[in-house]
Amino acid sequence: MKNKTSFLPQEGEAHPSRCPDNTAFKQQRLPAWKPQLNIVTVLSSFFLTGAFCLTVGVCLVLSANSVREIQIDYSDKCSACSKLRENSSNWNKECHCSVNFTLKEDILGDVFMFYGLQNFYQNHRRYVISRSDAQLLGRNVNIQRSYCAPFTTYQNGTPMAPCGAVANSMFNDTIDLFYNRNSSVIQVPLLKTGNSWWTDKNVKFRNPTSYNLSSAFAGTARPPYWQKPVYLLDEEDEKNNGYVNDDFIIWMRVSAFATFRNLYRRVHRIRPFADGLPAGNYTFRISYNFPVTKFKGRKHVILSTVVWSGGSNPFLGIAYVVSGTAAVLTGFVITAIHLKLRKKKTYFQKQ
């Protein structure tokens, strides 16, 4: 039978130590600052934070309310074109409609035109990943290995450029704006370039290298829902073609919500629109191509100005106001509790 004491250290043997090393870090002797909170410090923090948030929130709300914006829903006003687009076999038939509206006051400054979609879900996982970033960088890649399926190749093996569901569903309505002054009709000049982010235009999107775009995209075909190939998206400006087309880049930045707006054009500030859009009668002339009835969607055109805080979205300002109000109210509650406890302490001391 084994001796139970054989496992104990014998006389003269070194005892194993499990103590941490005798250093400032392991022995927790490093200098540290431990704030001593008192009622003055706590209340000052709450009231100063509340005052700051309220000030910023009020400024943001007032700034957002100063934005001039007009939104026009043309889904029902272009109902004839909408019915035509319900049948996919009519994809090559043109359909135009007009929407009249009136500006009662001048819209001064830079004016931006947006298109808005309602009930269009771009946040579905399979939709979001249905693209090939390597292809959009102009590289010669095998898109069969990407997540573009089923929008990768046609039955004859011709690859799509660009591939994927995001690119295939690109918004393709054409919207022109006309100003009705007296008996004349003036087309409002709109800028179609300079609307995308610099990083998108110069980093994330590149055209294949070749002596011209048509040869760069040789051997590829347009996505099924497109009416023209990618190298003819802008026939007036060759630099705004292919994967670096501003409309295409903006569409490829998917939205997190089902109702969203994307920048479409900017008003070119030249005579008679040097100061913005003057009051009067206007007309949107729309080439209707993007169907929305199948998913019960709506389409809008928005004319808006912007301010230092952005567009007409008061959410951030309201969030600051709510946070500031909560901080101030908490400060008052703590003050009331402190006064009550101090009064009770004084009473017992007198007893």
pLDDT of residue 12: 56
Chain segment 90-109, per-residue pLDDT in tens: 878 899 999 999 999 999 99
The tokens of 349 are what?
Answer: 């001391």
3-state secondary structure of 125: helix
Name the residue ranges covered by the structural domains of the chain.
43-67+310-327, 72-305
| 310: region left, alpha or beta (phi > 0 left; psi from -120 to 50 alpha) | left
| pLDDT tens per residue, range 271-315 | 889 999 999 999 999 999 999 988 899 999 999 999 888 888 889
Averaged pLDDT, 158-166: 94
- Looking at residue 311, its pLDDT comes to 84
What's the mean pLDDT when you consider all of the chain? 90
Q: What is the mean pLDDT of residues 38-47?
A: 92
Q: Is the pLDDT of residue 328 over 70?
A: yes
Tokens of 161: 């450029």
What value does the mean pLDDT take over residues 332-338? 93
pLDDT at 7 over 80: no
Q: In the chain, pLDDT over 70 holds for what percent of residues?
A: 93
Q: 3-state class of 118 per DSSP?
A: strand
pLDDT of residue 35: 80
Instruction: Output the pLDDT for position 14.
Output: 59
Element holding 60 (H helix, E strand): helix 39-65
For 79, the token pair is 């109902």
Strand partners, 71: 302
Q: At what angle do helices 39-65 and 315-350 cross, to 10 degrees?
A: 160
pLDDT score recorded for residue 10:
57
Distance of CA 327 to the CA centre of its chain: 30
Confirm if 282 and 179 have CB atoms less than 8 A apart.
Answer: yes
Instruction: Give the model's pLDDT for residue 24.
Output: 87
Residue with more model confidence, 309 or 193: 193
pLDDT at residue 178 greater than cutoff 70: yes
DSSP helix/strand/coil, 147? coil
Choose between 21 and 50: higher pLDDT.
50
Q: Which pLDDT belongs to residue 350?
A: 63
- Report whether pLDDT(346) > 90: no
The per-residue DSSP string of 259-300 comes to SEEEEEEEE---TTSTTEEPSEEEEEEEE-----GGGT-EEE
pLDDT of residue 332: 95
Residue 13, pLDDT > 60, answer: no
198 contacts 192 by C-beta, under 8 angstroms? no
Per-residue confidence (pLDDT) for residue 93, from 0 to 100: 86
**pLDDT for the residue 45:** 94
The per-residue pLDDT for range 50-60, each reduced to its tens digit, is 999 999 999 99
Q: What is the pLDDT of residue 170?
A: 96
The pLDDT of residue 15 is 60
Strand ranges, E, within the chain: 69-73, 96-103, 107-108, 112-118, 174-181, 184-187, 190-191, 260-267, 276-277, 280-287, 298-304
pLDDT in tens, 232-258: 999 888 889 999 999 999 999 999 999
Residue 165: how many other CB atoms lie within 10 Å: 21
Confidence check: pLDDT of 86 > 90: no
- pLDDT at position 299: 96
Predicted pLDDT of residue 91: 77
Given this model, what pLDDT does residue 347 score? 60
* Percent with pLDDT over 90 in the chain: 66
Q: What is the pLDDT of residue 351?
A: 61
Q: What is the C-alpha R_g of the chain?
A: 32
